[in-house]
Amino acid sequence: MSKVRVRFAPSPTGGLHLGGVRTALYNYLFAKKNNGDFVLRIEDTDQTRYVEGAEQYILDCLNWCGIQPDEGPHTGGEYGPYRQSERKNIYREYAEQLVKSGHAYYAFDTPEEIESLRETLKAQGKYNVQYDFQNRLNMRNSLSLPPEETEELLKINFPHVIRIKMPRNEYVHFQDMIRGKIEMPTDGVDDKVLLKADGMPTYHLAVVVDDYLMKITHAFRGEEWLPSAPVHVLLWKYFGWEKHMPHWAHLPLILKPDGNGKLSKRDGERLGFPVFAMEWNDPKNGVVKGFKELGFMPEAFINMLALLGWNDGTEQEIFSLEEMIEKFSMDRVHSHGAKFDFEKAKWFNHEWIKKSDVERLRPDVKKILEGNGVSIDDEPKLDKIIELVKERCTLLNDFWPQASFFFITPTEIDTASILPKWNENKTQFFVELIRTYSLMNSWNINDIEHSFKELAAASRLKSGELMLPFRVMLVGGKFGPGVFDISALLGKEETLKRIEHTLSIMK
Ligand code: GLU
């Protein structure tokens, strides 16, 4: 068996959508599982849709997700160039080969002529008109024109395209790794352009030629390409490369959470969640935030994506990249689309934050703190804080609201939540507590807690009723980890300062 080689072949036309990242991920998992190569190919032959910066953005996203190509425009490799625009010279010869063998033809029609035919046929009540076996002989191409005229037009370099001559009344069969045996009629498929007037190939030609030349063994792509599959399968056959045709898999769509249909950028805007992996600065439409900026861990993001259409046959949901590689198989990819669920995505992230150790979280948390103007050199202290609050963070960005009080004295104290049960005895207790704590020589959780409870007992008060006010004094609100842990980390001086401050505003 030849070495497994798969490719992720995005077009640099904008931000990388969830579905695109999942396609990359499944390709990567399959390649790594089978000790194969994961190739990145940039499909940039459609100059009209090319967007500046989109290629670098794709690379950055893959990099963030931890799915590095083995070959690609930036990694190199023996099958390059990996950017289709740099392969322009390769394609014409293949398109011409098909003209010679009678499977393709030159077409000289101008866009206006095509439009005019459409109008004429519409007037005759014929809709859904396309350039196909029914109409091709009414058009200006090497099938309808006398050979001399075709030759003349080619000689004067009259603008032309090369189109595939789709056979009439045939069925194309192929095996899909997810959907099984597929049979599709050729009728209804138009004579697709293979080579454009500017000499660039269309996707249909380039994908076949490149998959062949790059020795791709498995081609996994979005389900939206299924209708084009007959064209591609026929091209493999017409080139005489059938034996080398990759195994296909058409991946199911990621669907909107509500209703039907593919999840789109607009759904994200409408429902308030990202659909891109990372922030995308669109030259036309401005900045769109991604999962990364919202505080997703890449581990959680790819875990969530992988499970959106695949499972390993058990109830397990949390997988590291290594585990996914080990467990992944194409036949466990679902054939139906999966609805995107943002709450579930956040659940994955929460699980990942909980299970990650401090070393893993520290750099991210540091960045978040720095973004809020706090730089911290005391790493052991930071580590303790991370350990204390991570359970409470669904997103990495939650570290700030959940832990900012460790670094900044809260300016707003939620006294309203303690006032209803406040009385003179409690004031007295905290006045005493300040005295007791001031006299303490050591400052650790046990001593802080012990003194607190001893004083409560001596004051005939329930310590449980005093802990909420204590918390509000230290934190500013009714949240956070254990109050004695907080006090220990804040230090004696800061603890006393915060109690005093609250007492002063409670008067
Ligand atoms: N360039 C195509 C896209 O962006 C790739 C499809 C394929 O993988 O063959 O969807």
Give the tens place of pLDDT for each residue, 328-343: 999 999 999 999 999 9
Q: How far is the CA of 75 from the centre of ligand 1 (A)?
A: 20
* Percentage above 90 pLDDT, the chain: 89
pLDDT band of residue 51 (cuts 50, 70, 90) is confident
What's the rounded Cα separation, in Å, for the pair 192 and 235? 11
Name residues whose C-beta falls within 8 Å of residue 344's C-beta, 6 or more positions apart in sequence. Answer: 304
**Considering the chain, what is the average pLDDT of its residues?**
95
Arithmetic mean of pLDDT, 277-291: 91
- Residue whose CA is at the smallest distance from ligand 1 atom 2: 10
Report all structural domains of the chain as residue ranges with CATH numbers, in order of start: 87-206 (3.90.800.10), 409-506 (1.10.10.350)
Has residue 206 got a pLDDT over 90? Answer: yes
Cβ(210) to ligand 1 under 6 A? no
pLDDT surpassing 80 at residue 1: no
For 452, residues 6+ apart whose C-beta sits below 8 A from its C-beta are: 433, 463, 466, 470, 484
Average pLDDT over residues 272-299: 93
Give CA–CA dist 196/159, Å, rounded.
9
195 sits in the region (left: phi over 0; alpha: psi -120 to 50; else beta) called beta
- 507 pLDDT exceeds 80? no
Does the CB atom of residue 43 touch ligand 1 within 6 A? yes
Evaluate: CB of 184 within 6 angstroms of ligand 1.
Answer: no
Residues designated as active site:
265
Ligand 1 atom nearest 10 alpha carbon:
4
- Res 122: pLDDT: 86
Neighbouring CB atoms inside 10 A of 275's CB total 23
Note the Cα 169 to chain centre separation in Å.
40
The whole-number pLDDT of residue 114 equals 87
Q: What is the pLDDT of residues 81-97, one digit of tens each?
A: 999 999 999 999 999 99
Q: Is the pLDDT of residue 439 over 80?
A: yes
Residue 160, pLDDT score: 97
Q: From 58, 18, 54, 64, select the one nearest 304 (Cα to Cα).
A: 18
Mean pLDDT of the region 195-220: 97
The position carrying tokens 């498995």 is 218
pLDDT at 506 (0 to 100)? 85
CA 207 to ligand 1 centroid distance, Å: 8
Q: Tell me the per-residue pLDDT of 310-327, one tens digit each, with 9 for 90 and over.
A: 999 999 999 999 999 999
Q: Is the pLDDT of residue 69 over 80?
A: yes
Residue 179: DSSP 8-state: T
User: Token pair for residue 242?
Assistant: 């059938």
Residue 125 has pLDDT above 90, yes or no: no
d(CA 184, CA 182) in angstroms, rounded, equals: 7
Average pLDDT over residues 115-135: 86
Pocket flag, ligand 1, residue 225 (CB < 6 Å): yes
* pLDDT given at position 228: 95
pLDDT over threshold 90, residue 266: no
Distance of CA 275 from the midpoint of ligand 1 (Å)? 18
What's the first-to-final CA gap in the chain, in angstroms? Answer: 82
Q: Is the CB of 221 under 6 A from ligand 1?
A: yes
Beta carbons within 10 angstroms of residue 492's beta carbon:
16
Q: Is the CB of 17 under 6 A from ligand 1?
A: no
Q: Please, is 105 exposed, middle or buried when counting C-beta atoms within 10 Å of its C-beta (0-12, 13-18, 19+)?
A: buried
The residue whose CA is least distant from atom 9 of ligand 1 is: 221
For residue 458, give the nearest of 432, 496, 487 by alpha carbon: 432
| DSSP-derived secondary structure for 373-433 | T-----HHHHHHHHHHHGGG-SSGGGHHHHHGGGTS--S---GGGTGGG--HHHHHHHHHH
pLDDT level of residue 477 (50, 70, 90 thresholds): very high
Instruction: Report pLDDT digits (tens) over 480-502.
Output: 999 999 999 999 999 999 999 99
Mean pLDDT of 6-32: 96
Query: Rounded to an integer, what distance in angstroms lies between the CA atom of residue 64 and that of residue 396?
Result: 15
- Which pLDDT band holds residue 129 (cuts at 50, 70, 90)? confident
Q: Which residue has the higher pLDDT, 282 or 354?
A: 354
Which ranges in 272-320 belong to alpha helices (H)?
291-294, 298-307
